[in-house]
Structure 1
Amino acid sequence: MNIRQCILAALWLAWSLGAHAAPPEVSYRSVKVDGVNLFYREAGPKDAPAILLLHGFPASSHMFRHLMPLLADRYRLIAPDYPGFGQSDMPPPDKFTYSFDNVASLIDKFTASVGLSRYALYVQDYGAPVGYRLASAHPERITAIVVQNGNAYDEGIAGEFWAQSKAWWADRSEANTGKMRPILDAGTTKWQYMEGARNPEHVSPDAWTLDQAYLDRPGNKEIQLELLYSYSSNPPRYAAWQAYFRKYQPPMLIVWGKNDKIFPPTGAYPYLRDLPKAELHLLDSGHFALEEDSPAIAAYMRPFLQRHLKPAGG
């Protein structure tokens, strides 16, 4: 975190602590959508402008545990777990199609179930292809977008990390599938949190330990392989998502862990081609930048949201 980020984070944290005797409460709820029980976290006033927070792989809504209390004084924040993730149901693949199209469809219905008719998006990793499906299908519902290490451009998946995935997408042989399985191992899960972290001592081991516990449930790794393979459906949609950006010009804040080896900053800059008014900040962190930089990200979000959304009581 640079000096400006430290100052912003300190100012907003001081404001938050001064404005509240205790942190805003986070509620833990669930709702059944098409027979699937979806768990979600919720915080903030019911009548406040809404933010839908969409998590990445192999995480869950747990990744937003630090951020939500920092924004809940003025915004209604809702963070669901996708099916097969976190505390949501994990129906077997013969009962539920684990594709990004199907997950996005379920989350779309979830927004209606919890009363979100208009909302801002916070997308990270898997959250980007889920969220951009929602946004391009319902542009009138989207008030703003916050992107944190979430891709929508070919430049963002051009690195060495993606070579093995692309080979598997082209040939889903047993041999290539076997090469993908280590991505579900504990060492890789820890690596996703620790690689690129500015200060590894500030990254809680509870995060990757919890993610791995979910991955290690019987049957879950086969579910995750289905979604990893379905990621191949996203690059063909990039042109449509970029067309959505150009046509509708949604307000966008880009806060990106610049040390990410999965989604490096080469995927952050292209957004500015289609959204020249977007705000871009590179953070000295990795893939899961919220582990270190929730206060800094909240500090960028608050003025951005205040410019584009009408806060509760404001």
Structure 2
Amino acid sequence: MLWLGCTLWRLQVFRMRARLPGNWVKAGLLVSTAAGVYLARGSLVGLDAGAALLVAAFVLKMLEMNNRRDARVLIFLGFFCVAVGYLFEDNLLWALFSLLPIAALLAALIGLQQSDLASKSSDTLKLAFKLMAQAVPLMLLLFLFFPRLDPLWSLPQPSNKGVTGLSDNMAPGDMAELSKSPALVFRASFEGLIPARNQLYWRGLTLEQFDGRRWSQSARAQTVQIPQWQKRGDPLAYSIVMEASGRPWLPSLDVAETQLPDVRQMSDFRLQRRRPVEQSLLYAVQSWPQSIRDPQPGEQIQRQDLQLPVKGNPQARQWADELRRRYSTPQDLVAGMLA
């Protein structure tokens, strides 16, 4: 939306139907953009937030551009934005796609050094592609023979999968990696007796969307709508020291409450922080294992939780049929699987 709004505004300025924004408008846009990045990323520091701020600065610079110097700054910011993209994507498809913005920026830089009547825009674009083609041999030589030195500094780069092996989408092979990881995820200290082992079901993330190969979050699980549940029985009081994971998920026993101000209970009863856990975090939790969750689950929830892909693993489906024949009711089946 920011890019679209700034582009349309700049086009109207070019067509002399609008004026360049004043200082107060630019200051308001800058503050609003920074606030949006903070709300989306939970911080203004770090690789994700820094990249978002750089792209936002590039877009906002279009509204401020008024002379050749501003145009050069905008072009150089564009080159930096393309380079930042390689921090997140390093596949061949992205490399080929990045040639298009590089060619456009290079053509703009060439045209900036020419007079208005020097050449057509198509000639400038051809020259940009010609220069890029001439640089390919040098690029290949540097890629093959130049030593890859360690950087002088580094930033923590979040990955799609944390040290625990847990991700927002998983396949059976990912679960195998989880069992091999020696990394510490969290430590829990209970006030009183420790519950039995079969009651230590730690809810970190709910994956209820299945496509036949991978499990992922459903749209319902990603909403902040407060779920319906009733407290019942004696609560369990405990404290958790969560290690840095780069993810906002906080493990807890069902059904949990915490007094941390930046933690929300999601619609699937898990606890989620507003920002990722980048360092060790201590939080106190109360859980009600005997609570009644969703006394009357809606039709949409039942349809979501019972959906299956058209095709699937025949052995898994055969095993499911055997379980249904072994247990008379769905409640008995679930109890048998959790025993």
| Same fold flag (TM > 0.5) | no
Which structure has the larger Rg over C-alpha atoms? Answer: 2
- Structure with larger RCO (C-alpha < 8 A, sep 6+): 1
| TM-score for both structures, normalised by structure 1 | 0.20
| TM-score for both structures, normalised by structure 2 | 0.18
